[in-house]
Structure 1
C-alpha cells in the first residue's frame, strides 16, 4: 500500500486535472482558434502557398531541416531524462538521507519516492513518443514539400490539394511537438511533489498560468494574430 496522504491525492488530482483541462482548452475547445499554436497553422498554410511559387526551394528545405533538428534534440533529451529517472530510482536511499539532512522538513518514504520517480519517468516516455512521431511527421512533410507542384504550370485544383496536404502534415507535426514540449513543462511542476504535495499544487498552477499566458496573452500571440492572412 502506497502511503499517500489525503493532500497527496488532492495535489495529484489537481495536477492531472489541470493538465487535461489545459490540453482540452488549447487543442479542442472553441478557444483554440485564438491560441498561438493554432494561429501558426495559418502561417504554415501561407508558407506552403508562397513555396508553390518558388522554383528553387532550398530555403524551405532548410526550414524543415531546422524543425527536424529541434525535434530530434528534444527526443534525445527525453531519453536522457528517462535515464536520469532510473538513476534516481537507483539512488533512493541516498535521496531519502539527503532530504532528512535538510533544514526544510520533507517527509518521504522509499515507496513514496519510487512512485513519484516512476510517474516522472512515464511523463518523459510519453514526451519521447510525441517527439519521435513529430520527427517522423516532419520527415513526411519534407517529402510533400518536394512533391509540391510548381504554381505556374500545375493544375489549380491539384495545386490546392497539394498545398493543403503539406500544410496539414506540417501542422500535425507541430501539434505533436507541442504535446511533447508541454509534457516537459508539466514535468517541471511535478518536482514540487518531491518536496511537499502542497508545493505541487503551487507549481502546477504556476506552470499552467505561464503556458496560458504564452498561448493567449503573449506578444508573440498578438503578432501572429495581427499578421495572419484573411481566411478565404
Structure 2
C-alpha cells in the first residue's frame, strides 16, 4: 500500500504511522486489561496468583521443601529458555539489517508490488529488535526474581517447632509476592513475543500489521478472560482452602 510520506514520519506513510500507533495501543491495553478490570472478572494470571499464595503458605509448613524448590527451578528454567531463544531472535533480526534488499524484494513480491523503501524496512527491523529486547529484559528479570524467591523460601520459618505463626505468614507472603512479581514479568515478556510475531506482518504492509495486531490482541484477551484454563482455575473464594466453583459444563471451544 502506498501513501503520503510526511516529513515527521520519515520514510513511513500515514498508514504506517496509524498501524504502528494501533500496535502500541494494543500492546499497552492488553497488559493493562490483565490487572485493571471488574473485580468479579479476574484474569487467568490473577487466578493462578492465588495458587502461588496458597503454595507458599503450605511450603512454609513443610519440613522438607525439595519439591517446592524443584517446582521453582522448573519455573526458572522456563524463563531461562525463553530468554535464550529471545537472544537468538534478536540476533536473527540484527542479521536482517544486512539483508534489507532481499527483505524488500520478498515483501514486494508477497504483497503484490508493495512500496517498501529500504529506509522503511530498516526502521521496521529496528522496531522489531526493540520489542524483542524488551521481552529479553523481562525474562531476565523474571529469572532473577525467581532466584530471590528461592532464597526467601529457603529462609522461611515453619519447619520447626516453636516458629511463630505471625513470622510464618509474613515470610510466606513475602515469598508469594516475589513469585507473583517474577510471574508477572515472565508473562509480560511472553506477551511481547506474541506481539513481536504480529509485528512481522508489518513487512507486508500497514494493513497486515493492523490485522495481525487485532488478531493477537483478541487471542490474548480470550485466553485471559474466556478460556477453558480460566474456567478450570476459577474458585468461589481464595480464603484458605475453599472448594472450587462448579465449572460450566458447556464446553468452551479453543
The interval holding the TM-score normalised by the smaller chain is over 0.9
Tell me the distance in 1 between the aligned counterparts of 2:237 and 2:71: 19
Partner of 2:209: 200
The one of 158, 161, 166 aligned to 1:157: 166
CA deviation string 1:97-129 (max 9, x = no partner)? 333444733321110000000000000111111
Tell me the distance in 1 between the aligned counterparts of 2:174 and 2:88: 34
Equivalences for residues 163-178 of structure 1 within 5 A: 163-178=172-187
Contact 1:25–1:32 under 8 Å retained in 2 = no
* 2:45 maps to 1:37: yes
| CA RMSD across the alignment | 1.9
The one of 195, 208, 211 aligned to 1:186: 195
Contact 2:202–2:209 under 8 Å retained in 1 = yes
* 2:143 maps to 1:140: no
Partner of 1:113: 121
Residue 216 of structure 1 deviates from its aligned partner by 0.5
The count of aligned residue pairs is 232
Runs of 4 or more consecutive aligned structure 1 residues displaced over 6 Å after TM superposition: none
Return 5+ residue gaps in structure 1 as ranges.
Answer: none
* 3-state SS in 1 of match to 2:116: coil
* 2:71 maps to 1:67: no
Tell me the distance in 1 between the aligned counterparts of 2:100 and 2:141: 33
* 2:232 maps to 1:223: yes
Residue 4 of structure 1 deviates from its aligned partner by 1.6
Relative to structure 1, the CA distance from residue 9 to residue 207 in structure 2 (aligned partners, 3 Å threshold; closer, same or farther) is same
The one of 59, 63, 88 aligned to 1:55: 63
Residue 94 of structure 1 deviates from its aligned partner by 1.8
* 2:123 maps to 1:96: no
Contact 1:193–1:200 under 8 Å retained in 2 = yes
Partner of 1:84: 92
Pick 1 or 2: higher relative contact order, CA cutoff 8 A, min separation 6. 1
Partner of 2:247: none
Contact 2:107–2:203 under 8 Å retained in 1 = no
Relative to structure 1, the CA distance from residue 120 to residue 32 in structure 2 (aligned partners, 3 Å threshold; closer, same or farther) is farther
* 3-state SS in 2 of match to 1:91: helix
CA deviation string 1:157-181 (max 9, x = no partner)? 1111011000000000000001100
| TM-score normalised by structure 2 residue count | 0.86
The one of 207, 211, 220 aligned to 2:220: 211
Contact 2:145–2:178 under 8 Å retained in 1 = yes
CA deviation string 1:50-98 (max 9, x = no partner)? 1122111111011011011110001111111111111000111122233
Relative to structure 1, the CA distance from residue 62 to residue 84 in structure 2 (aligned partners, 3 Å threshold; closer, same or farther) is same
Relative to structure 1, the CA distance from residue 134 to residue 85 in structure 2 (aligned partners, 3 Å threshold; closer, same or farther) is same
The one of 123, 131, 143 aligned to 2:131: 123
Question: Which is richer in helix?
Answer: 1
Deviates more, 1:131-140 or 1:92-101: 92-101
